[in-house]
């Protein structure tokens, strides 16, 4: 029976330079793209707040998970054309809405399904925050890579 040697074991694809380059490129591109998308979503929400119609909605579902992404709730509301719609909103841990409570919903008169709950989080904030985080991570990666490249280049100059 032969003994196992880790020196002869195949290396994982994670160590392949092409895979690493693709991962770095995705991180570098995803942050700014998400930042732009989140900012445009926030701009649309600000426009909706400024020009939308307001109505009272009823909280019909509250998700109270252990993690922040599951802190959301669903509100049903009736638009001016008597159609019933629902919208999801995020809630902060200190502002949990009660099931059956009334909240203010702001919706577009031309597209009643486009709505948000006044005073609660919207997906645009989350997307912009994630984009900002990935942008910061990508800048740190670029700085570390540039520092490592310069250091390696200096070593090669001294050695050769």
Note whether residue 120 is domain-resident: yes
Note whether residue 115 is domain-resident: yes
Angle, in degrees to the nearest 10, between helices 123-159 and 17-51: 150
Note whether residue 149 is domain-resident: no
H helix intervals, 11-83: 17-51
**Residue 115 contacts residue 77 (beta carbons within 8 Å):** yes
The confidence score (pLDDT) of residue 104 equals 92
Write the CA distances from 93 to 41, 57, 135, 153, integer angstroms: 23, 21, 27, 50
Note whether residue 148 is domain-resident: no
Distance of CA 81 to the CA centre of its chain: 33
Whole-prediction pTM? 0.65
Note whether residue 11 is domain-resident: no
Distance of CA 117 to the CA centre of its chain: 19
In the chain, what is the greatest distance between 2 CA atoms, to the nearest angstrom? 80
The confidence score (pLDDT) of residue 70 equals 67
**Which domain, by its residues, includes 47?**
23-124
Q: What is the mean pLDDT of each run of 10 residues along the chain (160 residues)?
A: 61 80 86 92 90 93 73 90 90 80 92 87 84 89 85 83
Q: Rg of the chain over CA atoms, in angstroms?
A: 25
What are the backbone dihedrals phi and psi of residue 59, each rounded to the nearest 5 degrees, phi first? -70, 120
Note whether residue 63 is domain-resident: yes
Note whether residue 131 is domain-resident: no
The tally of domains found in the chain comes to 1
Note whether residue 49 is domain-resident: yes
């Amino acid at each position: 029976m032969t003994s196992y040697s880790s020196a002869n074991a195949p290396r994982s694809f994670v160590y392949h330079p092409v895979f690493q380059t693709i991962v770095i490129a995705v991180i570098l591109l995803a942050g700014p793209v998400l930042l732009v998308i989140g900012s445009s979503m926030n701009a649309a929400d600000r426009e909706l707040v400024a020009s939308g119609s307001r109505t009272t909605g009823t909280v019909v579902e509250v998700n109270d998970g252990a993690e922040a992404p599951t802190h959301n709730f669903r509100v049903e509301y009736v638009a001016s054309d008597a159609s019933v719609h629902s919208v999801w909103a995020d809630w902060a841990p200190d502002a949990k809405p009660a099931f059956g409570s009334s909240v203010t919903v702001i919706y577009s008169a031309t597209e009643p399904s486009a709505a948000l709950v006044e005073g609660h989080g919207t997906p645009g904030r989350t997307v912009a925050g994630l984009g900002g985080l990935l942008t910061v991570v990508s800048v740190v990666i670029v700085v570390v890579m540039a520092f490592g490249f310069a250091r390696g280049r200096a070593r090669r100059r001294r050695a050769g």
